[in-house]
Amino acid sequence: MEVGAVAAMRYVKDGIRAARLVMRHTQHTLLVGEAASDFAISMGLPGPTNLSSPDSMEKWNKWKENGCQPNFWKNVVPVNSCGPHHPKDVSSLEELTEVTCSSSNHLEALASNSHHISLHNHDTISMAAIDKTGYIAVGTSTNGATFKIPGRVGDGPIAGSSAYADSEVGACGATGDGDVMMRFLPCYQVVENMRLGMEPKLAAKDAITRIARKYPDFVGAVFAVDKNGLHAGACHGWTFQYSVRSPDMEDVQVFTVLP
């Protein structure tokens, strides 16, 4: 039940180490933004550092030239530019409230941006480890959704969403459309399923199915491992792979999970 996380942190490359420092040296769970960067640097991590690469700058320039499309805005104007953005057909806060409460379509409200998520623009890394005494730890690190709105925080630093562990039960890691998945805390669900007696395969499948019932177009996956090392994965919208290494294995083994 020890947790540390950082979000929207800039200028510091090693987010997972920063999160561990939050866990080990503060009584907080989550630090964000420039203050998270300041904390990480003050605790000895390298920075401030320019984290842009030639590839990322080229991708960003092409995106700007394409009118900042695709993006994660909705119900705003202008549609085909980089902003600033304003609510569509709403001139006051009162009208915005009225539109939101009375006119919004429920299915539109549930629409996700999963079309932005693919094997080619994803960099989430989630890892679980069981030590010789049976203690279980899990961590997740990601740059977040490509072309996200500045300030966006996805499921990566949210305990129970992208990662969760209980040494009495097991652990889970997740990846995919974090803006949707974080609404379900899928990794918490996986661990609780295993606590209730489900094997990892069924526990993972149940958590993914709960999301798919509400968001049939979402893309995502979870892995589950119990305290005895039994593992499995479940996914929706793509073919998912995860790897395993144990002391009795000569090398890492990759497992493929079909949707």
Buried b (16+ CB within 10 A) or exposed e, 10-37: ebbebbbbbbbbbbeeeeeebbeeeebb
Residue 117: per-residue pLDDT: 56
- Domains, in order of start, for the chain: 5-42 (no CATH), 54-115 (no CATH), 118-257 (3.60.20.30)
Give the pLDDT of residue 93.
47
Which contacts of 126-135 are long-range, i.e. CB under 8 A and separated by 24 or more positions? 126/162, 126/163, 126/173, 126/174, 126/175, 126/223, 127/173, 128/163, 128/165, 128/171, 128/172, 128/173, 128/223, 128/225, 130/171, 130/225, 130/227, 130/229, 134/167, 134/227, 135/167
pLDDT confidence of residue 116: 55
| pLDDT at residue 99, rounded to an integer | 44
Cα 52 from Cα 252, distance rounded (Å): 31
Q: Chunked in runs of 10, what are the mean pLDDT values of the chain (259 residues)?
A: 95 95 98 97 95 94 93 82 81 49 43 54 87 96 91 95 98 96 98 98 98 97 97 96 94 96
Residues 229, 63: Cα–Cα separation, whole Å: 43
Catalytic residue among 97, 100, 124, 239: 124
End-to-end CA distance of the chain: 31
Q: Is 124 a catalytic residue?
A: yes
